[in-house]
Structure 1
Amino acid sequence: MKKYRKILLLIATIFTLGAMSKVAYANEFNFSVNPVLPENQIGQSGYFNLEMNPGQSQTLTVTLKNSTEKTVIVEEAIASATTNINGVIEYSPNKIKPDRTLKYNLADYATMPKEITLTPKSSQQVKINVKMPDETFKGVIAGGITFKEKDSGTTASKSKGLSIQNKYAYVVALLMQQDKTVVAPDLKMNAVAPGQVNYRNVINANLQNPNAGYLNQMYAQATIKGLSNTSLSYTANKEMMQMAPNTNFDYPIAIGEGKRLEAGKYRLTMTVYGQKDANGKYSSKDAAGKAQKFDYRWQFTRDFTISGETARKLNAKDVTVKPEAWYKNWLIWMGIILILLALLFLFFLLWKRRKDEEDEEEQPSEKEALQAQLEAIKAQLNEESKEVSEKDE
């Protein structure tokens, strides 16, 4: 059995629109990364935030430095920004599908070498070629550049078949826009459906930001009430989330460990705030009861249904849910009842058939009955004939 420790992304420059960290160096790395900011950089930050004209091409530079005594091979990749299930923006390659509203994927407008070799105690400049789309548009094309050491930090233990692998990467955000106009975010709710997170039952509300602007400092308040079973109620409130432009993610509402997902009808009500602002028009209270204001607010209500088959499959996979006792399973009880009814019906048919056969044996046949009647009539006629003869004599 092999177990892999979750990939740890040490982000060299973490983007939060207004709060950027400087380049970070970690002991786990055998190389360092330093972006060389160009003249068309918007603001002084440790990531690329470029203002470019439609159709403009440009070459960016990132300096990689190897301060060790060994050769280091660095793998490089470019990806469009996505939003993960925790409401955190990812700038590195992942398995999250691009949102259908994403018109300009950064991976289609930026190129760079797939890997580079750093000799001991050396540095090299990596060139990234970027191109702004020919069309005029408002908003941001967002993504990131990932630098990862090839086959780095691997420790393996053959005992008991255990293998642990650590992977570290630098990620530098790369933003491109045609002007400094801030595009307001938007928020839509797509499907609401049951699912699982870490083999635990949840109900996912898919949230979508269809605009080319960041949605920052999100505060979501969600409640699910059972309509078929009014005793069911689930809540999930979470603060300080963020969504990248033109992305979506599943916001999970946990039903509680050990609790079975029930089939039936439900109603989700959800309020999402965005962008904290002391002068914001929308007010709310955080988890500690402190008042806060936001520039944006969205409210959603959605009815949905969970089928019995879906609930059964998810409950079977939930590692915290105990298998249901056989005598509590209504399907088993229905089966037992149907079998008993079938046996009773069969018994009734056999009993009726046997009774009919006995009745037929006890009663004379129709022919015999008629013959007996004829014999009786004949005997009576003979008797009457004798009486008439005796009177005549």
Structure 2
Amino acid sequence: MKAKKLFFTFLTIIIGILTYNISASAANNNADIPFTMETIHPNDQINKSTSYIDALYKPGQQQKLQVKVRNSSNTTQHFIVSASDATTSNGLAIDYTKNKQKLIGSPKLSELINGNADQAIAMPAKSSKIVTFNLTMPREQFKGIIMGGISVYKDDRFYQQNNNNNKGVSINNRFVYSTAVLLRNQKGNVLPDIKLVDAKQAPNNQSPAIVTTLKNDKRNFISGVKTRSTIKDKDGKKVAENSTNLGQIAPISQFDLSTPLNETLSPGEYTLDGQASASDGQNWTWHKKIIITQQNFDNTQKNIVTNKKPFPWAMVIIITLIVVILLLIGLLLYLLLKRRKNEQ
């Protein structure tokens, strides 16, 4: 009976550990988001039914951009409210936060803000606060739009110490709430455009790829973007193809579009053919001859991970637990049979 009790005790502990890990993982996936942000439309708002700012200002006019931040938690929270340029990420999405992507023209929103574009605020529990950015429109009239965004997120300086005190490895996800800002000084839009800048073989996320650099040098954004890229060798044989859907491209922005490769392309001559379309029916195409040198091949090969899979520790642990449980069950059966034999 002691062996039987020991077995069930051990089994209960194992089940408890597994259940705790699953519950903890599920709890960690529910990020705490204790804030919201609401746009305050200016008097010169073009369409007040939109959730973002879209205003028509005169050249040189001074104006205020305002948002209302609400702390819905039961404790004091610290936030950063930031006004930034709208850029295009390499995943074909419009990004309203500060990042490495750059715009290729002026004027832009970051140049119009008077004072600090990053405001730190402390908010008591269950409170709201209006945050204001003062700006001055360009003195020279421009066509199209200046596009940016206002974002709010937790101020890491007040939470980093608590994270450092936690033992073990932790992953901190930053939730950012953003709203778009569109500034104009004349009615009507300009047609956006997509142009090829360059294309070459390069590492992308530790894998080989043909990286195509594109730009939209017009002052209008593009929505519902679909792309297709095809790579062929000098004999016209297709060696790679990739497509994307539901992309967005910011005005006057430059970005990369990657076509993944199964392996690094050997030195030689290749061609890239690309096409893109927008939800409004516009279409663009580009063609590029790509010469891959031995140096490009060596540099790409050196900076990728070649079919190295991570060691399956989780599978090893699961198999080990199953083996231990089976051994304990076998031991229990052996002890029970031995006891029954002795009783007979």
Q: Does 1:138 align with 2:146?
A: no
Q: Does 1:184 align with 2:186?
A: no
Q: Per-residue displacement from partner, 1:28-51 (whole Å, max 9, x unpaired)?
A: 222221111122112111111111
Secondary structure, aligned partner of 2:256: strand
Secondary structure, aligned partner of 1:103: coil
Which ranges in structure 1 are unaligned for 5 or more consecutive residues?
Answer: 1-25, 277-293, 323-393
Which residue does 2:239 correspond to in 1?
A: 233
Matches within 5 A, 1:233-382: 233-256=239-262, 259-276=263-280, 294=281, 296-321=282-307
Larger RCO (CA under 8 A, 6+ residues apart): 2
The alpha carbon displacement at 1:191 in A equals: 0.8
Q: What is the letter of the counterpart of residue 283 of structure 2?
A: R
Q: Structure 1 residues 27 and 49, CA, compared in 2 at 3 Å: closer, same or farther?
A: farther
Cα separation, 1, equivalents of 2:107 and 2:50? 24
The alpha carbon displacement at 1:231 in A equals: 4.5
Cα RMSD of the aligned pairs, angstroms, is: 2.1
Q: Structure 1 residues 177 and 264, CA, compared in 2 at 3 Å: closer, same or farther?
A: same
The alpha carbon displacement at 1:230 in A equals: 5.2
Which residue does 2:328 correspond to in 1?
A: none
Q: Per-residue displacement from partner, 1:170-209 (whole Å, max 9, x unpaired)?
A: 1111110112302111121011111222111110111111
Q: Does 1:103 align with 2:106?
A: yes
Q: Quick check: 1:85–1:250 contact (8 Å CA) kept in 2? A: yes
Q: Per-residue displacement from partner, 1:269-311 (whole Å, max 9, x unpaired)?
A: 12222233xxxxxxxxxxxxxxxxx2x2222221121111221
Name segments (4+ residues, structure 1) moved above 6 Å.
Answer: none
Q: Quick check: 1:261–1:314 contact (8 Å CA) kept in 2? A: no
Secondary structure, aligned partner of 2:278: strand
Which residue does 2:70 correspond to in 1?
A: 65
Q: What TM-score do you get using the length of structure 2 for normalisation?
A: 0.74
**Which one of the candidate residues 217, 242, 245 is aligned to 1:210?**
217
Count of aligned pairs: 272
Cα separation, 2, equivalents of 1:239 and 1:260? 25
Which residue does 2:37 correspond to in 1?
A: 33
Q: What is the letter of the counterpart of residue 38 of structure 1?
A: P
Secondary structure, aligned partner of 1:182: coil
**Which one of the candidate residues 140, 149, 152 is aligned to 1:147?**
152
Cα separation, 2, equivalents of 1:260 and 1:181? 47
Which residue does 1:84 correspond to in 2?
A: 89
Cα separation, 2, equivalents of 1:319 and 1:141? 41
Which residue does 1:166 correspond to in 2?
A: 173
Q: Per-residue displacement from partner, 1:305-363 (whole Å, max 9, x unpaired)?
A: 111122122123221347xxxxxxxxxxxxxxxxxxxxxxxxxxxxxxxxxxxxxxxxx
Q: What TM-score do you get using the length of structure 1 for normalisation?
A: 0.65
More off after superposition, 117-126 vs 27-36: 27-36
Cα separation, 2, equivalents of 1:113 and 1:309? 43
